[in-house]
Structure 1
Amino acid sequence: MNQTAPRSLWASRLGFILAAAGSAVGLGNIWKFPYVVGENGGGAFVLVYLACILLVGLPIMMAEFMLGRHTRRDAVGAFVQLEGKRSPWIAAGWVSITAAFLILSYYSVVAGWTLDYVYRALRGSFSGVPAATIEGMFDGLIADGPRQILWHLVFICLCLGIVIGGVQKGIERWSKILMPILLALLALLFMNGMLSKGAWEGIAFMFRPDFEKLTAGSVLEAMGHAFFTLSLGMAAMITYGSYIKRNEDLLGSSLRIVGLDVTIALMAGLAIFPIVFSVGMEPGAGPGLIFKTIPVVFSRIPGGFVLAILFFLLLSFAALTSAISLLEAQVAYLIDERGWGRKRATALLAGLAFLVGLPTALSYNSLAQWHLIGERTFFDSADLLTSNYLLPISGLLISIYVGWFWSGSEEKQELVAGGSGWVYPLWHFLIRYIAPSAIAIVLFFKMRETGLFAWFGNLF
């Protein structure tokens, strides 16, 4: 390890919880969760999602925090310290770091869309405009490469400005600012949804189980989304865990983080579905729900101008709190393992993420004919590779290592330190048997569903 200065730690428990919750709470909660619920039948999907969070997501989150705090290292360095430089387990760290880098590169472009819509909302672009025109705005945006690149650059610079400040003065300070604002914005939108005439329809859609609509694909989707939304398998939680104080209660903190993440996802659904129902639109509208359907809804309801501004600010803040954790996970590697200074490491990695994100910004315009995996664009291929393969593989390796190969006494020590040693038998059972089995099943079916087996067959 090349560290020469004492490792930075979170200044407070609140700062750590808000930073980690900010990492977990991203576009996946507010953009993806509502339309995934809509596509998979509502309440039954929510139940399966919550089960996946508790049985798989929570144990792996605790395992990542343990690895980070025990070693005080980044995702790669944690395995180097525990198993040595030549250990094959280091692959788990590298997979997660690679996933973090690739996700940041295209996530920044998507986050740029939210900034563009904040700008449009401030200009009143959705007020008094026909629905067809509003729906066409998103198609026009993704067809405009230079506009996407501009917002992509703005977002990357925001991430750079926060991460370069360090753990306490950068990430923790801004998490204490951004997360309360995010929660306040969501609370306002939630109350608006609950006061709309579509409130009961929205509540019923979210929580009334209809198991006839629940398919095997829905169960796999719930598992995958639970994994992605908690920022697992992407080095962020190992890195954030390395900044936790020794006496921190990992179980209690993890439950609070998971609780915030789930609450925000559910509140987002209850903010969105009631107003969608109130104007008679389709709740299962897919990815276009946020960028096409919701702006149309805001154009039709009283106070829609203000609500549109609040909503897209909420999306932007959620994206930013997640993205800074992705960048920090990579920066920590260069600081810990290569001895780089924070400013140099942050500037280099932010610049590389911007460059690698350029093909994503051009995926639906200049590079629309450039296909990587099958007939998928660069953006779709990068998303497929990370969300469906790198993250589950990283999580699978971490759960197998922690469940079967890491010293049980060291694991228990991490739980005992915070006063949660009593949960060790249950946690160890889940991380040893349930989590790896569930992830392996999802990974297998995702590979079959996305045609990766056939793709490999064609290569040879």
Structure 2
Amino acid sequence: MSRENFRSRLGFILVSAGCAIGIGNVWKFPYVTGVNGGGVFVLFYIISLVIMGVPILTMELAVGRASRKSAVLGYKALEPKGSRWHIHGWLCVIGCCLLMMYYTTVSGWMLGYCFKFASGTFSGMQPSDVDTVWTDMLANPGEMTLYMVIIVLAGFIVCSFGLQKGLERISKWMMICLLALIVILAINSLTLDGAMEGVKFYLVPDFERAAEVGIGNVIVAAMNQSFFTLSLGIAAMEIFGSYMSDANRLPGEAVRICCLDTFVALMSGMIIFPACFSFGLEPGQGPSLIFMTLPRVFVSMTGGRLWGALFFLFLTFASFTTVLAVFENIMASCMDNFGWSRKKATIVCGIFILLASMPCVLGYNLWYFEASLPSGATGQILDIEDFLVSNLLLPIGSLIYLLFCVSKWGWGFDKYLAEANKGTGLGMSPRFKIYFQFILPMLILVILLVGLGSWGWRALICAAVAVFVWFMARRSSSKSTI
């Protein structure tokens, strides 16, 4: 069976950007920005994308394009004989599944709030009563299951039509609608009284305010967000490299994807922060910013029913494009590794994701409990799943992709560079080799250790012991063959 390719370069960029653009941009980025003091966080976030996000994204795409395979077989096609890099490919498949186990629920929340605003649930409601809509939805497993099932079924139905007729065609239209909606919503927010104070908080760096949070905490949060927003480390982007042509150099394509992703993230903040300051609401409310704080803004403004419905339609589009992209990755992995047809992959993967998403749904009601996380915080099943993906699989996976592409034990820097610079456009200079081999791994290791909280140093010691044992085993093996 021949492998499908994107119909156009625009399709590749919009689908890849759609994978990157999701709850990391429209839900997580605004509240993390608010918690971390605004402008300084945004500054370091953009720097992190340039020095970390773009290189790792280029490497994922290079592995995909050079191999023309999904994660497991992609590693197998490129790894040195006898090595075991492809084990990480299976971890990528697990990571994509784990991501969808809670991502579908959050996407369902956004769809649910779009319906609620459009149907008039919030009409005439006092701002003080808005929170009850959120708590009632979380307490209702039937309602949450309904929205989650709609997202999952719609996603797999689209993917069942294939890359060009399904994923590429639908994602292109959704991305165009998303970009139009975000501009309209941002313009509306900027016309509100007091909006400029929100813009100032958001875009003007204030190091004194950031110092209250801790400059180090702000920088690490920005670095971590740059990985989460691009879905790096779990082969979510690698699969699109396997579908793209050789006509364009990968660094240029990675920059375009990052620019679109950053545009949506920045414009999301441009919607939210002016509105919060206009109505005197706290921008550092954390995860509740979207579902509790902002609805108070909409019920208080003229035409709030329309603006609220459009805002949550925008959020639904943003999250659903990521759902489509990751579903395609999961299905492609099954088709590549098990020889399944697309129809069989759609049915089996669809049933699996539906069942696997239920613990997250029930974790807020029937299966509710408080779990302690290594960071010191407490949370529900969603928080556990998000911790495993965001704090472990993404940074570890990104580190593995990096080492695979730049070390002599993996694919190797020269081969990676040749693939990245194949075609026309912005290329990658060989002068970055030292940075990629020594500095960038340390930056990713910092993100991993800080993300593990109190477990960080324990993990570092265990990793050091494992590396030492592996090194001694290789040394003994090489001596025995001489």
- TM-score normalised to structure 2 length: 0.90
Instruction: Give the counterpart of 2:201 among 201, 205, 211.
Output: 205
| Alignment CA distance shift 1:344-1:419 (3 Å) | same
CA distance in 2, matches of 1:314, 1:285: 21
Instruction: Give the counterpart of 1:434 among 434, 439, 445.
Output: 439
Pair 1:128 & 2:124 matched = yes
Within 5 A, what are the aligned runs for 1:73-222?
Answer: 73-83=69-79, 87-212=83-208, 213-214=210-211, 215=214, 216-222=216-222
User: What do the CA deviations read for 1:172-199 (whole angstroms, capped 9, x no partner)?
Assistant: 1011110000001101001111222232
Match of 1:413 in 2: 418
The answer to whether the 8 Å contact 2:56/2:398 transfers is yes
Pair 1:20 & 2:16 matched = yes
The answer to whether the 8 Å contact 1:234/1:326 transfers is no
Q: Shift of residue 368 of structure 1?
A: 0.8
Match of 1:282 in 2: 282
| Alignment CA distance shift 1:426-1:147 (3 Å) | farther
Within 5 A, what are the aligned runs for 1:30-429?
Answer: 30-83=26-79, 87-212=83-208, 213-214=210-211, 215=214, 216-369=216-369, 371=371, 376-404=379-407, 405-419=410-424, 423-429=428-434
| Alignment CA distance shift 1:343-1:198 (3 Å) | farther
The answer to whether the 8 Å contact 2:31/2:286 transfers is yes
Q: Shift of residue 452 of structure 1?
A: 9.3
CA distance in 2, matches of 1:247, 1:307: 42
| Alignment CA distance shift 1:167-1:452 (3 Å) | farther
Give identity over the alignment, percent: 38
Q: Which amino acid aligns with 2:79?
A: E
Q: Shift of residue 80 of structure 1?
A: 1.0
Select the structure of larger CA radius of gyration: 2
Give SS of 1:242's match.
helix
The answer to whether the 8 Å contact 2:32/2:286 transfers is yes
CA distance in 2, matches of 1:165, 1:331: 12
Give SS of 1:253's match.
helix
CA distance in 1, matches of 2:457, 2:148: 30
CA distance in 2, matches of 1:90, 1:281: 49
RMSD: 2.0
Q: Shift of residue 291 of structure 1?
A: 0.3
| Alignment CA distance shift 1:155-1:208 (3 Å) | same
The answer to whether the 8 Å contact 1:16/1:172 transfers is yes
| Alignment CA distance shift 1:442-1:408 (3 Å) | closer
Q: Shift of residue 295 of structure 1?
A: 0.7
Q: Which amino acid aligns with 2:396?
A: I
Gaps spanning 5+ residues in structure 1: where?
A: none
User: What do the CA deviations read for 1:353-411 (whole angstroms, capped 9, x no partner)?
Assistant: 11111010011111113758686432211111111101111111111111213233322
Q: Shift of residue 413 of structure 1?
A: 2.1
Q: Shift of residue 248 of structure 1?
A: 2.2
The answer to whether the 8 Å contact 1:171/1:324 transfers is yes
The answer to whether the 8 Å contact 2:58/2:420 transfers is no
The answer to whether the 8 Å contact 1:372/1:378 transfers is no
Moved more, 386-395 or 424-433: 424-433
Match of 2:469 in 1: none
Structure 1 runs, 4 residues or longer, greater than 6 Å off: none
The answer to whether the 8 Å contact 1:276/1:282 transfers is yes
Give SS of 1:196's match.
coil
- TM-score normalised to structure 1 length: 0.94
Q: Shift of residue 249 of structure 1?
A: 2.5
Q: Shift of residue 91 of structure 1?
A: 2.5
CA distance in 2, matches of 1:75, 1:246: 19
The answer to whether the 8 Å contact 2:251/2:426 transfers is no
User: What do the CA deviations read for 1:138-174 (whole angstroms, capped 9, x no partner)?
Assistant: 1111111111111111110111011111111111101
| Alignment CA distance shift 1:242-1:124 (3 Å) | same
The answer to whether the 8 Å contact 2:68/2:242 transfers is yes
Moved more, 419-428 or 249-258: 419-428
The answer to whether the 8 Å contact 1:59/1:427 transfers is no
CA distance in 2, matches of 1:12, 1:428: 32
